[in-house]
């Protein structure tokens, strides 16, 4: 009467032994938590694979956070931003160098002129770099909608505006001044006064330009960045100074002051580098490991030890090239490190197992 007669061979004789164990465990526990009888009947070949479960160790726990997913979002910044850090930093430092030269070595008119031009061109280049990074570039003017000293980005926007215009004015005045000198001399004096004033303003804002980006990056939630907030401005300023003097040297200037400044910058870079290499902060792993670590370290070596040695041996042009390359690598390295750092939830979450990386998991 049953629709399908029972197969006399069953239950599967091959598994009886295993079944006995199971019966015992079943009797005690009710559920058997160990593998039971191999499920025969799979027509496809078995794959080797370790079972992980939706709710096991790589699941959600105080040890791994929420399935090891990142807590923080990665910086959205594109390639323009680190380049801007470089350009803006160099331009700011150049303005400072230019202004001091004007004040203390008034005969170095060409150095002053070129320093002013490096500053002016840097300032002019910075704006488009920042704008093209915006999600809505046509709205760049909104950067000047409000004044928010509590936002390094706002401070930077206003500073860049002031710096760009003053540096531009200084350079322009220099140009007009030279025309005036071999032409209508009645203009010479006022132009020089305006130029010097603009130069001074550019230098003042330049000081902010070279340093604020350190605060901008440091005052964020990214562990690799904010744990370095009190070093970054110095690091970036030194990097900018090194780049600025190097640019001027490559433009043909050999004033010893530039060399001294190059050495100073290199020393500062060595200092900040040593600080980073020595601290055991797990947050700084991305600065030492992986691709971002390589970038940062290469940048550090090229901005510190290398130019220092070269300068001691008088190879100023080579040192200049190294310092510029180092400064560029440094900026890219730090931004890259920030991305990696953002993927690791262990620090911001305070997990029991720090360094729990989850680079494999890309949020959709």
Partner 1 sequence: MPGLGTSFGRGGATTAQQDLANSDAILIMGSSMAENHPVGFQWVMAARERGATVIHVDPRFNRTSAMADLWVPLRAGSDIVFLGGLVRYAIEHGKVFRDYVVPYTNAAVLLKDELRDPEDLDGLFSGWDASELKYDPESWLYRGAAKKSAGGDVAGHEAEQGGHAKERGGHRDEGDQAQPEQPQERDDTLGHPRCVYQVTRRHFARYTSEMVERACGVPAAQFVRVAEAFCSASGPERTGAICYAVGWTQHSVGVQIIRTAAILQLLLGNVGRPGGGILALRGHASIQGSTDIPTLFDILPGYLSMPLFEKESDSLASYVRKYQTETGWWHNYDKYIVSLLKAWYGEEATAENEFGFGWLPRVDGDHSHQGYWLDMAAGKLEGLFVIGQNPAVGAPNGRLERKALAQLKWLVVRDLVEVETASFWYDSPEVERGELRPDEIATEVFLMPAAGHAEKDGTFTNTQRLLQWHEKAVDPPGDCRSETWFAYHLGRRLQERVRASKRRRDQPLQAMTWDYPVEGADREPVVEAVAREIHGRKPSDGELVSGFTELAADGSTACGCWIYSGLYAGGINRPRQRAARGAYAHGWGWAWPSDRRILYNRCSARPDGAPWSERKKLVWWDDAAGEWTGLDVVDFAKTKRPDYKPKPDAKGDDAIAGDQPFIMHPDGLGWIWVASGLKDGPLPTHYEPLESPVSNPLYGLQTNPAAQPKERPDNAYAPTGDPRYPHVLTTYRLTEHHTAGGMSRTLPHLAELQPELFAEISPELAAEAGIANGDWVTIATPRAMVEARALVTARMKPLVIDGRLVHQVGLPYHWGPRGIARGDVANDLVAISEEPNVRIMEAKALVCSLAPGRRPRGAGVLRQLEEIAAMRPRDETPLARQIAGEDSPPA
Partner 2 sequence: MWDLIREWPLLRQLRDGGDGTGPEAMSARTRELQTKTAGAPVARSVCPYCAVGCGQLVHHRDGKLLAIEGDPESPISRGRLCPKGAASHQLLTHAGRLTKVKYRAPFATRWQEIPLEEAMDRIADRVWESRERTFEEERDGRVLMQCKGIAHLGGATLDNEENYLLKKLFTAGLGMTRLSNQARI
Partner 3 sequence: MATTAFLTDSTLCIGCKACEVACKEWNEVPEDGLLFTGHSYDNTGALGASTWRHVKFVEQTPAIGCGGNDPALLSWQFSSDVCKHCENAGCLEACPTGAIVRTEFGGVFIQPDVCNGCGYCVVGCPFGVVDRREGDGRVFKCTFCYDRQLAGLQPACAKACPTQSILFGEIDEMRQRAEERLAELHARGMADAVLWDARDTSVGGTHAMFLLRGDPRAYNLPSAPEVPTVYQRDGWRAAAIAAGGLLLAAFGAFVAGGHD
Residues that bind partner 2 (CB under 8 A): 144-148, 150-151, 154
Bridge partners, residue 66, by sequence? 60
Considering only CA atoms, which of 253, 264, 238 is closest in space to residue 326?
A: 238
Provide the minimum distance between the beta carbon of 142 and partner 2 in the complex, in angstroms, as a whole number. 10
**C-alpha distances in Å from residue 1, one per residue of 5, 6, 364:** 8, 11, 56
Provide the minimum distance between the beta carbon of 47 and partner 1 in the complex, in angstroms, as a whole number. 4
179 binds, among partner 1, partner 3, partner 2, none (CB under 5 to 8 A by kind): none
Considering only CA atoms, which of 63, 59, 56 is closest in space to residue 349?
A: 63
Q: Is residue 221 within the footprint of partner 3 (CB under 8 A)?
A: yes
For residues 110-169, which are near partner 3 according to CB under 8 A?
A: 133-137, 139-140, 142-143, 145-146, 148, 150-154, 156-157
Provide the minimum distance between the beta carbon of 326 and partner 3 in the complex, in angstroms, as a whole number. 17
Provide the minimum distance between the beta carbon of 210 and partner 3 in the complex, in angstroms, as a whole number. 7
Residue 54 phi, psi dihedral angles, 5° rounding? -60, -25
Q: Is residue 363 within the footprint of partner 3 (CB under 8 A)?
A: yes
Q: How many CB atoms lie within 10 A of CB 328?
A: 22
Selected binder of partner 1 within 17, 45, 155, 194 (CB under 8 A): 45
Instruction: Give the C-alpha separation, 348 to 246, whole Å.
Output: 39
291 binds, among partner 1, partner 2, partner 3, none (CB under 5 to 8 A by kind): none
50 binds, among partner 1, partner 3, partner 2, none (CB under 5 to 8 A by kind): partner 1
CB 332 within 8 A of CB 287: no
Closer to partner 3 by Cβ: residue 180 or 213: 213
290 binds, among partner 1, partner 3, partner 2, none (CB under 5 to 8 A by kind): none
Q: Kindly write down the DSSP assignment for every residue of 192-252, as one continuous string.
A: HHHHHHHHHHHHHHHHHHHHHHHHHHHSSS-HHHHTTTTTHHHHHHHHHHHHHHHHHHHTT
46 binds, among partner 2, partner 3, partner 1, none (CB under 5 to 8 A by kind): partner 1
Q: Is residue 359 within the footprint of partner 3 (CB under 8 A)?
A: no
Considering only CA atoms, which of 362, 361, 344 is closest in space to residue 353?
A: 344
Closer to partner 2 by Cβ: residue 69 or 148: 148
15 binds, among partner 1, partner 2, partner 3, none (CB under 5 to 8 A by kind): partner 1
CB 195 within 8 A of CB 119: no
Selected binder of partner 1 within 17, 38, 145, 267 (CB under 8 A): 38
Q: Kindly write down the DSSP assignment for every residue of 33-62, as one continuous string.
A: -S--S--TT--SPPPP-----TTSTTSEET
Closer to partner 3 by Cβ: residue 179 or 260: 260
Structure-token match 């704006």, residue found = 127
By CB atoms closer than 10 A (0-12, 13-18, 19+), residue 3 is exposed
- The token pair at 320 is 């200049």
264 binds, among partner 2, partner 3, partner 1, none (CB under 5 to 8 A by kind): partner 3
The C-alpha R_g of the chain, in whole angstroms, comes to 31
- The token pair at 25 is 């465990």
For residues 55-74, which are near partner 1 according to CB under 8 A?
A: 55-56
Selected binder of partner 3 within 119, 160, 201, 216 (CB under 8 A): 216
Q: Is residue 1 within the footprint of partner 1 (CB under 8 A)?
A: yes
Give the range of 6-14, 17-25, 36-44, 347-355 binding partner 3 by CB under 8 A: 347-355
Q: Is residue 362 within the footprint of partner 1 (CB under 8 A)?
A: no
- The token pair at 317 is 């042009």
Q: Which residues bind partner 1 (CB under 8 A)?
A: 1-7, 9-12, 14-15, 19, 22-23, 26, 30-56
């Amino acid at each position: 009467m049953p629709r399908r007669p029972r197969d006399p061979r069953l239950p599967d004789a091959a598994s009886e032994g295993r079944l006995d164990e199971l019966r015992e465990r079943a009797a005690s526990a009710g559920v058997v938590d160990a593998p039971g009888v191999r499920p025969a009947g799979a027509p496809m070949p078995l794959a080797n694979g370790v079972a992980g479960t939706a709710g096991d160790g790589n699941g959600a726990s105080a040890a791994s956070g929420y399935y090891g997913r990142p807590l923080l979002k990665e910086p959205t910044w594109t390639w323009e931003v680190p380049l801007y850090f470089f350009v803006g930093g160099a331009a700011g430092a150049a303005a400072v160098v230019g202004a001091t030269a004007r004040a203390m070595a008034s005969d170095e008119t060409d150095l002053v002129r070129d320093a002013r031009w490096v500053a002016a061109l840097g300032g002019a280049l910075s704006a488009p770099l920042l704008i093209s990074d915006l999600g809505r570039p046509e709205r760049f003017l909104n950067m000047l909608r409000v004044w928010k000293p509590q936002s390094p980005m706002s401070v930077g926007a206003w500073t860049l505006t002031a710096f760009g215009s003053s540096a531009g004015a200084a350079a322009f005045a220099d140009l007009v001044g030279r025309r005036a000198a071999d032409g209508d001399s009645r203009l010479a004096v006022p132009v020089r006064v305006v130029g010097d004033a603009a130069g001074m303003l550019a230098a003042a804002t330049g000081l902010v330009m070279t340093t604020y980006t350190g605060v901008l990056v440091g005052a964020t939630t990214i562990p690799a960045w904010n744990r370095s907030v009190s070093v970054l401005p110095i690091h970036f300023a030194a990097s900018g100074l090194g780049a600025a003097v190097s640019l001027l040297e490559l433009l043909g200037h050999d004033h010893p002051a530039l060399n001294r400044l190059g050495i100073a910058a290199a020393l500062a870079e060595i200092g900040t580098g040593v600080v980073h290499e020595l601290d055991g902060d797990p947050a700084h792993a991305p600065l030492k490991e992986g691709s971002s670590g390589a970038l940062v370290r290469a940048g550090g070596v090229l901005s510190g030890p290398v130019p220092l040695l070269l300068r001691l041996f008088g190879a100023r042009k080579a040192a200049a090239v190294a310092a510029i390359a180092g400064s560029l690598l440094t900026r890219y390295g730090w931004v890259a490190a920030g991305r990696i750092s953002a993927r690791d939830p262990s620090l911001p979450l305070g997990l029991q197992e720090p360094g729990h990386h989850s680079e494999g998991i890309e949020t959709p």
